[in-house]
Amino acid sequence: MIIDDDIRNRKGLKEILSGGGNNILQADSINSALPILKEKEIGIVLVNIDNPYFGGIELLQTLKEVAGNRNMYKIVITADSISGARMVKGLNEGAVDFLTTPFNPNLIRAKIEVFKSLYYKDQRINQLLKNIFPHSVLEDLSSNQKFSPKRIDDGIVLFTDFVDFSHKARNIKPIRLLKKLEYYFTRFDEIIERYKLEKIKTIGDSYMALAGVTEQYPEPALRACLAALEIRDFMLNERSIAMALNRDYWEVRVGLHMGPLVAGIIGQSKISFDVWGDTVNIAARAEQGCKPGYITVTKPIMELVDGYFILESRGDVSIHKRGGSITMSYLLKLSSEFVMKSDDRLASRDLRIKCGLSPIDFEHMRKGIIQRLMSLLPEEVVYHDIRHTLNVEKAAVRFAKLEGLDDESIIILRTAVLYHDAGFILKYDSNEDFAIHLAEDNLPQFGYSEDQIAQISSIISSTRHNTIPQTLLEQIMCDADHDYLGRPDYYNVAKKLREETVNYGIEMSEKEWLQFQLNYLEKEHRYFTETAKNIRLHGKKARMEEMRERLKQIED
């Protein structure tokens, strides 16, 4: 972001930094910049401190407060006569470098690339820390530089392990064994995250997660049971596929228990977050004494989830080493009144809301529509295929985050993207009508409300030819749909579009094809969001110039 009251500086910097994937935002005052900085993730801020009426060096203090714990590199714009004392003050207020006027384009580009690289490294480090520690732990470490051990009275521990793992491990090559474990544990991670649990660690073939310990979402027992059911169902589906293909399969056991825990960080040079207590041992025993493909829950959890789930009593089960026994049951499935109409394995909208989850079951919806596109799109559709849909989804998410959209809006947008080309299953022309009909028919089964479905239908409709998108979500949809026009792989994508048009009876000579593309880029297409203009317009103009040159060569 460029914050400068001098329009010449803003224009000059934008011209210097355009291209190279830079998303450049501008503000002429701190008041106009603050809403953008609070709404969007800004990595580098260029701020002019010369004009005392504009805010001067005090702007840096304001930016420091706005950034909080976020990574934000602040670069000062100033005259080349800056004093040493003023430079020191700027650095003390969080500036990392200075740009002097008049601008040196090459120097500015080099500096920005350096700080972009540092910003992305910071992002990767932060993501790694998020993968290692719970969010609450990171907040404590950031604020207090330490995390004090905490006692939780009703923490829930979920354990899984694979049946007869040691025997299977002897009959499989190490690299294949590792890949198989990684495949299963990655799916477990996705499920655990979906139900807002916290993965703690894997121990060999065992997987351990917590509920009600590090997060503040309601109904941890219900969420843990929903996660356990989905893990079990995933493994049963894998088993069915393996049996159909006459391959070896793995089975899982799952155990859950609730009770007192102590949570803390141990280690000095290699630290880790862990939990201790009898609750961990009992959860492990519940899992170890479970039948393959089953889930065991103990009495404290049974009392909280009875009525929501169908349970089958196991009676009192002895706890080896610890001594004594505890009442346990098998967790079989959701009760009929708490399931989605589309699938009795999925939690209803009301139950998801009760658990503090999104009422929309996006992940299962996404899996279903992707499978439908992969199996039902005609072979002739080689451009509007599943790869195109996934590429558009990726671009839409990127644009949406850069535009500062909230999580719910991004889910609505992604849903529209996943359905927008589904109409090609039925017909090639006016495909949007069938896509909207399909969305209206399917989405209520996954917890989407009438208003959300109407919004999704409107976003899909905005992709019709000669339609001007009105809302920001519609604009992002259209920009993401044509993201490739400004990408380096444009010609590879356009080649598939040409092949698809031939499949449907439209053939063009090389000259006609070039003229067709150029006419569309010059006269019909435009990017709507500021993000897409910043990131892709430069590349689009380069493609247009290349086509003009190729046409000139053909005509000569």
Whole-number pLDDT of residue 54 = 61
pTM: predicted TM-score of the whole model, two decimal places: 0.84
Containing 45, the helix (H) or strand (E) segment is strand 44-48
Q: What is the Cα–Cα distance from 177 to 456, expressed in whole angstroms?
A: 42
Whole-number pLDDT of residue 532 = 94
CA distances from 390 to 85, 295, 379, 442 (A): 53, 35, 17, 19
Whole-number pLDDT of residue 429 = 85
Other Cβ atoms within 10 Å of 240 Cβ, number = 11
Whole-number pLDDT of residue 206 = 93
Q: Which two tokens stand for residue 111?
A: 């500096």
Whole-number pLDDT of residue 128 = 82
Whole-number pLDDT of residue 222 = 97
Q: What is the Cα–Cα distance from 49 to 34, expressed in whole angstroms?
A: 16
Q: In this structure, are residues 283 and 221 in contact, taking their beta carbons and an 8 Å threshold?
A: no
Amino acid at 68: G
Q: Which domains does the chain have, with CATH numbers?
A: 2-131 (3.40.50.2300), 151-354 (3.30.70.1230), 362-555 (1.10.3210.10)
Task: Tell me which long-range contacts 421-427 makes (C-beta under 8 A, separation of at least 24).
Answer: 421/373, 421/384, 421/388, 421/389, 422/369, 422/372, 422/373, 424/377, 424/378, 424/381, 424/384, 425/372, 425/373, 425/376, 425/377, 425/378
- Going across the sheet that includes 73-79, the strands are 26-27, 2-3, 44-48, 73-79, 95-101
Q: What is the Cα–Cα distance from 186 to 180, expressed in whole angstroms?
A: 10
Whole-number pLDDT of residue 85 = 63
Q: Which two tokens stand for residue 475?
A: 């604009």
Q: In this structure, are residues 410 and 358 in contact, taking their beta carbons and an 8 Å threshold?
A: no
Q: How far is CA 58 from the centre of its chain?
A: 36
Q: Beta strands of 409-548 (E only): which ranges?
A: none
What does the pLDDT profile of the chain (556 residues) look like in tens digits?
Answer: 898 888 999 999 999 998 778 889 998 888 888 888 888 888 999 988 776 666 666 777 777 777 666 788 989 888 766 556 666 767 777 788 888 888 999 999 999 999 999 999 988 888 888 777 777 777 777 666 666 788 999 999 999 999 988 888 888 888 999 999 999 999 999 999 999 999 999 888 999 999 999 888 999 999 999 999 999 999 999 999 999 999 889 999 999 999 999 988 877 777 788 889 999 999 999 998 899 999 999 999 999 999 999 999 999 988 876 778 899 999 999 999 999 876 788 899 999 999 999 999 999 999 999 999 999 999 999 999 999 999 999 999 999 999 999 999 999 999 999 999 999 999 888 899 999 999 999 999 899 999 999 999 999 999 998 899 999 999 999 999 999 999 999 999 999 999 999 999 999 999 999 999 999 999 999 999 999 999 999 999 999 999 999 999 987 7
